[in-house]
């Protein structure tokens, strides 16, 4: 990517500009998953012009962190400060330097803040003291902090109940790219693929900029996947393991939840997850689920007609889904595994499920495509098991993964299908769709109009079985920014 070119992130950058336009001191916490571009965004937005910039080092002891802090302080200030023995002294030295800076606006950037708090380091106490006693009263001072360790950022900083309670003035969660932003990013990096190939890359990597940056323009899509996941020393083969260690304190429990949900495509309730993991009734699982939802690993949803108490959780992180399906148990012997899987049924099945998750992550684009962007609506799912009605008739079980329940007395019943050409609705599928709609109306007793909506890659083929479809969304619609 070209130097200093930021793709997307307009809302975040506008917020940064608004923060810096006032004289009020600001403590801005930027968090999000590993590799999503937090550091790049802050650094490039300010073009590296910080009055002090320090990055924590992973698992480095306190004295090593202090030594690096001292080096950066000397570099920024030009003052030969002695090496501090503790963080209180280090922050006092930083204050001395900043008091000598004759500027109306001072911008500080602490990157990977969670890594600075090593065991018994006293870092957070010193950081809190620095902010509360001086920085928070210094007009024009803007302190930006980043961290990938989500639980730390949420518990120790943003949600701190101690010295920093309520002190964070702005929180910025940086989400992965959308499909439209991914397309812009890939084009900037010289990738000249069509949208079908970009969509499939997204279904593997999500919109994580660092992963996308590893793609090589001179390789085909399949060759790139082989190179990144299955070749000797593949750069993303071990990424899954470090991803959880870097994001969450109790990485093992987070992994267990994710890997349990990976086995149930339709999702699970909190109780089902608890029982599957053999956990007690403590609140730790609730915290884990909330953090995974906040980081876009899981989708929390309620079925049509259900309450929050009946919430379900579904694994939606595309990178994790791909890793657990194809990489985790791969023996590494076939260095061209993905190329050789082109027509394998398991790859076709994965495509269908991954495409559904992409659609669920692009609800605004779907609503825009069917012309209901301004209509208040609720997004949910619905399912039912096989049952016998009061008249002794047997109704087969069915499932609808996406319902858009609108305030204007319409429900869009969405079917999501990934195909390498226009999708053909045959007689059997037409019968299934009609039965699905009939079952839904019978059990829910809804009086709203049901609009069958097809979301596909290239649209549907118009034939004698497609007449019930009232709205279409294509892959191109999902790329809208």
pLDDT of residue 154: 85
Backbone angles phi, psi at 36, to 5 degrees: -85, -10
Task: Give the DSSP letter of residue 323.
Answer: I
Cβ neighbours of 467 (radius 10 Å): 11
Which CATH number is 362-478 given?
3.40.1350.10
Q: How far apart are CA 148 and CA 32, in angstroms?
A: 6
pLDDT of residue 2: 47
For 68, the token pair is 């690096």
**pTM check: above 0.85:** yes
For 177, the token pair is 């790219």
pLDDT of residue 92: 97
> 177-361 adopts what CATH topology?
Arc Repressor Mutant, subunit A (1.10.10)
pLDDT of residue 34: 85
Strands 26-31 and 170-173: parallel
pLDDT of residue 251: 85
Q: How far apart are CA 401 and CA 194, in angstroms?
A: 27
Q: Do residues 405 and 446 lie in contact, with contact meaning Cβ atoms separated by under 8 Å?
A: no
pLDDT of residue 372: 95
* Bridge partner residues of 108 (DSSP): 52, 143
- Rounded to 5°, angle at Cα 438 from 367 and 369: 10
Token look-up 């910039």 returns: 53
Q: How far apart are CA 108 and CA 26, in angstroms?
A: 10
- Three-state DSSP at 394 gives strand
Q: How far apart are CA 404 and CA 366, in angstroms?
A: 10
Q: How far apart are CA 347 and CA 425, in angstroms?
A: 22
Q: What is the DSSP string of 213-262?
A: HT--TTS-HHHHHIIIIISTT-TTSSHHHHHHHHH-TTHHHHHHHHHHHT
> 177-361 and 362-478: same fold?
no
Domain ranges of the chain: 10-173, 177-361, 362-478
- Rounded to 5°, angle at Cα 447 from 446 and 452: 80
Q: What is the DSSP string of 107-167?
A: EEEEESGGGG--TT--HHHHHHHHHHHTGGGSTTEEEEEEES-HHHIIIIIIT-SSTTTTT
pLDDT values of the chain reduced to their tens digit, one per residue, 481 residues: 444 578 999 999 999 999 999 999 999 999 988 899 999 999 999 999 999 999 999 889 999 999 999 999 999 999 999 999 999 999 999 999 999 988 889 999 999 999 999 989 999 999 999 999 999 999 999 999 999 888 888 888 998 888 888 899 999 999 999 999 999 999 999 999 999 999 999 999 999 999 999 999 999 999 999 999 999 999 999 999 888 887 777 788 999 999 999 999 889 999 999 999 998 877 889 989 988 998 889 999 888 887 777 899 999 999 999 999 999 988 878 999 999 998 899 999 999 999 999 999 999 999 999 999 999 999 989 999 999 988 888 999 999 999 999 999 999 999 999 999 999 999 999 999 999 999 999 999 999 999 999 999 999 999 999 999 999 999 999 999 7
> 10-173 adopts what CATH topology?
Rossmann fold (3.40.50)
Q: Do residues 264 and 399 lie in contact, with contact meaning Cβ atoms separated by under 8 Å?
A: no
CB-hemisphere CA count at 13 Å for 465? 14
H-helix or E-strand spanning residue 285: helix 284-294
pLDDT of residue 246: 77
- Rounded to 5°, angle at Cα 293 from 289 and 299: 105
pLDDT of residue 280: 83
Torsion of Cα atoms, 112 then 115 then 116 then 121, to 10° = 160
- Rounded to 5°, angle at Cα 173 from 136 and 42: 65
Q: How far apart are CA 233 and CA 335, in angstroms?
A: 10
pLDDT of residue 4: 55
For 462, the token pair is 């118009």
* Bridge partner residues of 384 (DSSP): 398
């Amino acid at each position: 990517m070209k130097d200093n070119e930021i793709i997307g992130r307009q809302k975040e950058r506008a917020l940064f500009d608004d923060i810096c336009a006032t004289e009020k001191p600001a403590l801005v916490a930027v968090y999000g998953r590993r590799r999503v571009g937090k550091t790049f965004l802050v650094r490039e937005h300010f073009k590296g012009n910080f009055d002090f910039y320090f990055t924590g080092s992973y698992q480095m002891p306190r004295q090593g962190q202090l030594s690096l802090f001292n080096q950066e302080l000397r570099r920024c200030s030009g003052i030969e400060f002695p090496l501090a023995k503790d963080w209180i002294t280090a922050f006092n030295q930083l204050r001395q330097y900043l008091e000598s800076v004759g500027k109306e606006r001072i911008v500080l950037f602490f990157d990977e803040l969670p890594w600075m708090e090593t065991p018994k380091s006293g870092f957070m106490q010193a950081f809190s003291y620095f902010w509360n006693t001086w920085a928070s009263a210094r007009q024009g001072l803007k302190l930006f902090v980043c961290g990938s360790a989500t639980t730390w950022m949420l518990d120790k900083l943003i949600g701190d109940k101690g010295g920093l309670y309520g002190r964070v003035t702005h929180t910025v969660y940086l989400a992965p790219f959308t499909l439209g932003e991914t397309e812009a990013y890939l084009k900037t990096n010289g990738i000249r693929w069509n949208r079908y190939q970009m969509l499939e890359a997204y279904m593997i990597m999500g919109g994580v900029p660092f992963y996308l940056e590893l793609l090589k323009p001179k390789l085909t899509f399949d060759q790139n996947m082989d190179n990144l996941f299955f070749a000797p020393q593949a750069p993303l083969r071990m990424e899954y393991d470090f991803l959880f260690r870097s994001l969450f304190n109790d990485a093992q429990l987070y992994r267990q939840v994710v890997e349990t949900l990976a086995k149930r495509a339709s999702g699970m309730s909190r109780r089902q997850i608890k029982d599957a993991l053999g956990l007690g009734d403590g609140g730790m699982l609730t915290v884990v689920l909330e953090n995974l939802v906040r980081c876009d690993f899981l989708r929390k949803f309620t079925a049509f007609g259900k309450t929050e108490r009946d919430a379900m959780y579904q694994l939606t992180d595309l990178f994790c889904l791909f890793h657990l399906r194809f990489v985790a148990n791969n023996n590494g012997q076939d260095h061209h595994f993905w190329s050789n899987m082109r027509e394998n049924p398991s790859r076709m099945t994965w495509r269908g499920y991954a495409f559904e998750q992409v659609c669920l992550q692009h609800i605004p684009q779907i609503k825009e495509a069917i012309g209901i962007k301004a209509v208040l609506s609720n997004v949910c799912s619905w399912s039912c098991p096989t049952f016998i009605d009061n008249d002794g008739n047997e109704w087969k079980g069915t499932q609808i993964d996406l319902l858009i329940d609108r305030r204007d007395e319409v429900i869009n019943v969405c079917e999501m299908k990934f195909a390498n050409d226009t999708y053909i609705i045959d007689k059997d599928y037409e019968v299934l769709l009609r039965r699905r709609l009939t079952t839904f109306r019978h059990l829910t007793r809804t009086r709203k109009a049901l609009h069958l909506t097809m979301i596909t890659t290239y649209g549907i083929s118009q034939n004698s079985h497609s007449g019930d479809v009232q709205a279409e969304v294509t892959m191109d619609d999902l790329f809208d920014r």
